[in-house]
Chains A and B, each alone.
Chain A
């Protein structure tokens, strides 16, 4: 019997001939990603009592969650992170303004096929889009990885999601993944390795694949994965000089579950409050008034997302009662969007441009909501209280749906425009 991607890569990293689901292995990650929580992790690292990180080349540190610092407390935390970076001789450090960790890590060539990446952020599975095994971990274990260079992982069961059909106009990867989550539920892939495959995925951009793997976290998955191919190699060209090993699942691998989707009839999808699996076609919620619209985050802040929004908003004006926030996911994306004229289009249409970073997604700054307000967002979570008041509502959708909704001031099917 063949092996899944997770079984193969964890065997390789643990130095074993093979692994089976449920087995506990000890592995040395290729990368440890941390962000604004680095200062807290550094404190735990000191509590362990070691002086030096086991391997400074493993660390990638990116400040993104509350950047620039919203107040003195955040400023102190950022300062402690910079001091830790200095003390430990960590080279891969990206300060305020570079962008969201899940965009900067791959852009800077730190996420490659066949790598094992752990990160103290639940959306670390994003990097499976490039063929890596990437899983989220907690703060204490991030400190332990710094101290020991290793971590235990349970070999997960695997789920394969085969997707066929051509995406209809104004329907994108976000709609597909919301539809899947609505179908299998917020724990539909709990602890599993999710492999996205099939012709639709093969013809999808890296940005689209990142959306799928990012949102795998919202099905409870340990990691998401798309097999590396020519699209992957082209995306990585110029971003790394390192060689890499592409690890692919065996064709006769044993999956705990196999799902099939055909996207040719897929409609734009919306996740209603306060659960990501509370998903309906946009047609069921059109006309619901909104106060705020957010385009950005580690799910949908990439160039093709901003392009989709600009295509809808170019030469028009958003509804006067709507605050449209646009946050490119990285400096690189911001620059490209400026060069293409996308930023000018969006700002002229009434958007407020915010710096690359996580922005209001986690409710700390830059666009929190008052009680009774409603936001439609391209983010990955709509939990109660996440963007400010617990009496506010978050609807999740694609960049096209959010842009169309900003234009009309109410939730709108982008196919109507």
Chain B
């Protein structure tokens, strides 16, 4: 995983649920990861898929990703090019799904000082997020969780662990 991530912000509010990130009507009918990206945030911000650029960062309020366990709510954003998600807090299954898909996430209050379109920097080595107006520190993830992210997600991590090339 890259230790420094820079990107353009998409700002969202509190309690954004997985139904608006990736609607339930597609969860068992779309199996292609790239096709999932075409529906990312469809019921929250229809502009998102038209304008998202590779490396963009989502910055949100509390409880990002609440609701269904659907992993497509992570995959669709990752495949759309999102480089990281920064939120005041995450719903727990969403948090796990990000780690397992190898999508970097940060828990801090950066949402307080950004607007959509700002450029921000996440420095994982220093444990801080730098916005145009403020700096936020975040605690490191548990080492065993970091290992999964470093491996690029749970599938490569389990392969390594089981000794499968």
Residues of chain A touching chain B, judged by Cβ–Cβ distance below 8 Å, are 24, 36-37, 40, 44, 47-50, 65-66, 71, 73-74, 77, 120-122, 136-141, 143-144, 147-148, 152, 154, 186-187, 190-191, 220, 222, 275, 277, 362-364, 368, 381, 383-386, 388, 390
Contact = CB atoms under 8 A, between A and B. Distances in A.
Contact of B158 (A48, A74, A120): A48
Given A121-B69, A139-B70, A144-B100, 6 more contacts: A48-B162, A140-B100, A140-B101, A140-B154, A186-B63, A384-B19
Nearest to A124: B69
Contacts of B15: 186-187, 275, 277
A386 B74 CA distance: 18
Interface of B: 15, 17, 19-20, 23-25, 27-29, 31, 42-44, 62-63, 66-71, 74, 89, 91-93, 96-97, 100-101, 142, 144-145, 153-155, 158-159, 161-162, 164
Contact of A385 (B20, B68, B91, B153): B20
B155 A140 contact: yes
A186 B67 CA distance: 9
B14 to A, nearest CB: 8
B92 A222 contact: yes
A376 to B, nearest CB: 18
Given A36-B28, A136-B93, A390-B43, A187 B158 contact: no
A381 B67 contact: yes
B67 A385 contact: no
A220 B70 CA distance: 15
Contacts of A139: 69-71
A47 B67 CA distance: 27
A273 B92 CA distance: 23
A95 B101 CA distance: 30
A148 B144 contact: no
B1 to A, nearest CB: 17
A138 B71 contact: yes
A216 to B, nearest CB: 12
A48 B155 CA distance: 6
B155 A120 contact: no
A140 B101 CA distance: 8
A120 B44 CA distance: 24
Contact of A74 (B17, B29, B145, B161): B29
Contacts of A44: 155
B71 A140 contact: yes
A37 B28 contact: yes
A416 to B, nearest CB: 32
B68 A122 contact: yes
Nearest to A275: B15
A24 B142 contact: yes
B67 A122 contact: yes
B93 A137 contact: yes
B68 to A, nearest CB: 5
B127 to A, nearest CB: 17
Nearest to B27: A362
Which of B20, B62, B155 neighbours the largest number of chain A CB atoms within 10 Å of its CB?
B155
A381 B93 contact: no
Contacts of B92: 190-191, 220, 222
The 8 closest A-B pairs by CB, nearest first: A187-B63, A362-B24, A383-B19, A138-B97, A385-B43, A49-B164, A122-B69, A140-B100
B31 A141 contact: no
20 contacts: A24-B145, A48-B158, A48-B162, A74-B28, A122-B93, A140-B97, A144-B100, A147-B162, A148-B161, A186-B66, A187-B62, A220-B92, A277-B15, A363-B23, A364-B28, A381-B67, A381-B68, A384-B20, A384-B43, A386-B19
A120 B164 contact: no
Given A36-B28, A37-B28, A385-B23, A141 B100 contact: yes
Contacts of B71: 138-140
A105 B74 CA distance: 28
Given A148-B161, A363-B24, A190 B69 contact: no
B20 A383 contact: yes
Contacts of A191: 92
A383 B23 CA distance: 10
Contacts of A388: 25
Contacts of B28: 36-37, 65-66, 73-74, 77, 364
